[in-house]
Amino acid sequence: MNTITDLRESLEQTAHRYDAPDPHELLRGVQDDIATGRDRGSRTPRLVAAAAAVALVAAGGWALSQGLGEEETGTMHPANTWELVDGNPPEYAAGLALVETVELGASEDGVVILDPEPLVGPSYAVAWCTGASEGAPSLVVGVGPADEPDSGVPIGCLTPQAPEVMTPMPLPELSGDIGINRLPEDAAQDAAGPGTATTVVVGLYREASTSEFPYPDQTEPTEPPTADVVLDAGTPATTEVHLDHLGEAAEGYLMPAVSVPTREGTVLTTWAGEPGRLLVAVNGMVITNDGEGLAQPASAGPWQHADPDLRGGYWLTWTASASTREFDLSPSGLAAHGIQVSEGETVTVAARAAFPRDAWQVGIDQPAGGPDAGGTSGPAPVEPTEALPALAYGYEQVTAVSVPASGSTFEIELGDVDPDHLIWVTECSAEAALVDVRIGSTPVQCSPGMEWLNVARVPGLVEGQPVDVTVGVGPEPVTLAAYTPRVWEDYPFEESADPIGTSDSAEAVLPRPVDGERPSELTRMPGPAVVYREVATVSTSDLDADGRAEVTVPSSTDLSIWIESTGVSRMRLALDGTPVEQLVPDPDESVITGILPAHQLLLRDGWFSTWTAESRGQQVRFDHADGRTGHGERDEPTVTIEVETVDGAEVELTFFELVPEDNG
């Protein structure tokens, strides 16, 4: 934000850096310029006033305060379009900051800017025609070194009728005196058509930094446009992005991405509903780039390609209203960025964004008659697998589909089931490990061998409506299965599988506790080492005629129970009269890998069961169980056990406490 006080302080600093000019010499220089015609045309009163103020401050130090007073008169705001403000170019617009202004009268051919602020780095020119009649064509001026009037860059002159279509013209580095001249009539007509000479206002701009640019007040973002494929903040991220030319890690760089086929007519449109920045890369090559070398330190590209909205690999937006920009995603369009692909070949489009409210989107539209969405046929049904069986843990599979790993969103049908009661399980290969998956708006991950330790419940689904599913970009599809609960009384236990018990990966995460050994997940925790200590055991033989038993566990530290069953059985547990379901996390929460996995699947309606006729062991922990061991919430708790068995099944509960190793 720039105020009158800022201007005053800047001018005072300038005055102290330079010796005060002699007023008579200053006036004589101006008279000489007028006499020789060197300073043809005129700078805006803004620059004249600033120069005079510096001279007067340096000479006497009083004229500035007298002329401006102490009252703040306003703040600076950027222009929404390239419109003159009281006859002058806007101070800030479209990420640019005004450096110099020149006005050419209708009878003037050119002007020379003496000792201008050097236009180093990307710089631009914008020209306006004032006094032009309705529909008058643009005129053309040239901007370049003063001593080379014929080498100026031609600048199209904007008419007042269409300020919104102005594109600032890039300029080469101009470090000496700058000449601004009308082009010869023939050249002007060749460039813009015949026209009538009018007054021309030319503004020279530099790229404003994001810290200095006076961003407008924020408004509520509009809805983004629709597109065949959408990439936004909700798109699953992928590590299948290589940005080594950006100086980023060549492997494992995580970015949201989609895979799409490229054809002649494929268009990519970036959209932003607020100021911010957005990087878009195709097959790892940044296309939001105006030719800069993006490896650190960055190097400037050809000045002719300079674009004020493309900086350092990002598309920058400056206004509170919606901004869009189109990119050619066809094979020929990508070739301009050095990306060689064939017609119909799939490319990976990735994005990296910084927006306060994530109001950004990358939309990709295919030509008429092109493929749908990501260029695939969508999810395909699959049969139950060992990892995703038809029945497991009291749940029955409703659907299982193979979802393309393209980052595109697909719909799957669930049929007549209550989605609030479903659990979701993913299966993938080792090559697709840890790929992001989204079910509705809930993110989950896929880990081979750990499928049932990453179970999720998804809130917000509507009964009878299809479910949106998205798999992040990866080398292979991911299988996604939904399961609905069955009741105990009619569950086919003999057909029920135990994928956790048969998984080597799950066994490594959830091993049976061993007296005197450290828990596997706590071996790398800081602080004193802790170990298991066996303190009590209860088996089927300890139960009374009603299948009940009660035991006081001699422990006051964190408690763990290893429950082992052979055959079909279920049990209720209570510690000091508190049911076990109240001592573990809410069963409606998602599973936390490696920590209390059983309570989600094996604890239902107050009963704990493995839902299988096979032998099965499972650990259940209480109290902290997160590394802060030795601080249990109970002192010698009384455990109440109630067991129901089918056809002579047996159970055994072994109680362990976690204690510091020195006390083991």
| Residue 111: pLDDT band with limits 50, 70, 90 | confident
Tell me if 99 sits within 8 A of 204, measured CB to CB: yes
Identify whether 147 is part of a domain.
yes
pLDDT, residue 20, reads: 37
The label of the residue with tokens 């990087």 reads: 279
**Is 50 exceeded by the pLDDT of residue 593?**
no
Per-residue pLDDT tens for 327-361?
999 999 999 998 999 999 999 999 999 999 999 99
More confidently predicted of 257 and 603: 257
pLDDT, residue 326, reads: 95
Return d(Cα 6, Cα 109) in angstroms, integer: 36
The residue among 495, 512, 537 that closes a domain is: 495
- For residues 203 and 69, state if they share a domain: yes
Token code pair at residue 386: 């060992």
Return d(Cα 107, Cα 96) in angstroms, integer: 30
Return d(Cα 196, Cα 62) in angstroms, integer: 46
Residue 439: which domain range? 380-495
What's 601's domain CATH number? 2.60.120
Phi/psi zone of residue 3: left (φ > 0), alpha (ψ -120 to 50 degrees), beta?
A: beta
More confidently predicted of 266 and 112: 266
- For residues 86 and 187, state if they share a domain: yes
Number of domains making up the chain: 4
Across the chain, what does the average pLDDT equal?
Answer: 76
pLDDT, residue 600, reads: 61
Identify whether 59 is part of a domain.
yes
Q: In terms of Cα–Cα distance, which of 104, 112, 126 is closest to 182?
A: 104
Identify whether 506 is part of a domain.
no
Per-residue pLDDT tens for 83-108?
888 889 999 998 999 999 999 888 88
In three-state secondary structure terms, 246 is helix
| Residue 17: pLDDT band with limits 50, 70, 90 | very low
Identify whether 469 is part of a domain.
yes
**Is 80 exceeded by the pLDDT of residue 476?**
yes
Per-residue pLDDT tens for 268-315?
999 999 999 999 999 989 999 988 878 766 777 788 888 989 988 899
Q: Is the peptide bond before 236 cis (omega within 30 degrees of 0)?
A: no
Return d(Cα 352, Cα 329) in angstroms, integer: 18
Strands annotated E in 183-284: 199-207, 229-231, 237-238, 255-261, 267-272, 276-282
Q: Are strands 153-158 and 123-130 parallel, antiparallel or unpaired?
A: parallel
The residue among 365, 392, 409 that closes a domain is: 365
pLDDT, residue 263, reads: 94
pLDDT, residue 509, reads: 64
With the C-alpha atoms ordered 413, 415, 419, 421, is the resulting torsion angle positive or negative?
negative
Identify whether 510 is part of a domain.
no
| Mean pLDDT, residues 528-539 | 86
Per-residue pLDDT tens for 168-216?
899 988 878 888 888 876 444 444 444 455 788 999 999 998 889 998 8
- For residues 73 and 178, state if they share a domain: yes
Tell me if 457 sits within 8 A of 423, measured CB to CB: yes
Token code pair at residue 620: 């259940």
- For residues 588 and 643, state if they share a domain: yes
- For residues 233 and 203, state if they share a domain: no
Distances (CA, A) of 142 to 81, 191, 212, 308: 23, 11, 29, 20
Return d(Cα 290, Cα 303) in angstroms, integer: 9
**Is 90 exceeded by the pLDDT of residue 445?**
no
Q: How far is CA 96 from the centre of its chain?
A: 25
- For residues 201 and 291, state if they share a domain: no
Identify whether 130 is part of a domain.
yes
Q: Can you spell out the DSSP letters for 486-552? A: --GGG--GGG-B-TTTT-HHHHHHSPPP-TT---GGGTT-SSS-EEEEEEEEEEGGG--TTSEEEEE
Q: In terms of Cα–Cα distance, which of 237, 221, 234 is closest to 324?
A: 221
151-160, 232-241, 518-527, range with the lowest pLDDT? 518-527
| Residue 25: pLDDT band with limits 50, 70, 90 | very low
Per-residue pLDDT tens for 126-146?
988 876 555 444 557 889 888
The residue among 173, 207, 241 that closes a domain is: 207
**Hey, which residues does 346 pair with through a beta bridge?**
261
pLDDT, residue 216, reads: 83
Tell me if 430 sits within 8 A of 448, measured CB to CB: yes
Q: How far is CA 32 from the centre of its chain?
A: 59
| Residue 44: pLDDT band with limits 50, 70, 90 | very low
Identify whether 503 is part of a domain.
no
| Residue 110: pLDDT band with limits 50, 70, 90 | confident
Q: Are strands 276-282 and 267-272 parallel, antiparallel or unpaired?
A: unpaired
Identify whether 293 is part of a domain.
yes
- For residues 193 and 304, state if they share a domain: no
Residues in contact with 75: Cβ distance below 8 Å, sequence separation at least 6, in sequence order: 1, 2, 3, 214
| Mean pLDDT, residues 485-499 | 93
| Residue 367: pLDDT band with limits 50, 70, 90 | very high
- For residues 562 and 530, state if they share a domain: yes
Q: How many CB atoms lie within 10 A of CB 607?
A: 19
- For residues 440 and 318, state if they share a domain: no
- Residue 168: burial class (beta carbons within 10 Å; 0-12, 13-18, 19+): buried
Per-residue pLDDT tens for 376-385?
568 999 999 9
Return d(Cα 573, Cα 581) in angstroms, integer: 8
- For residues 201 and 250, state if they share a domain: no
- For residues 178 and 241, state if they share a domain: no
- For residues 30 and 152, state if they share a domain: yes
Per-residue pLDDT tens for 50-81?
333 223 223 222 222 222 233 322 334 565 57
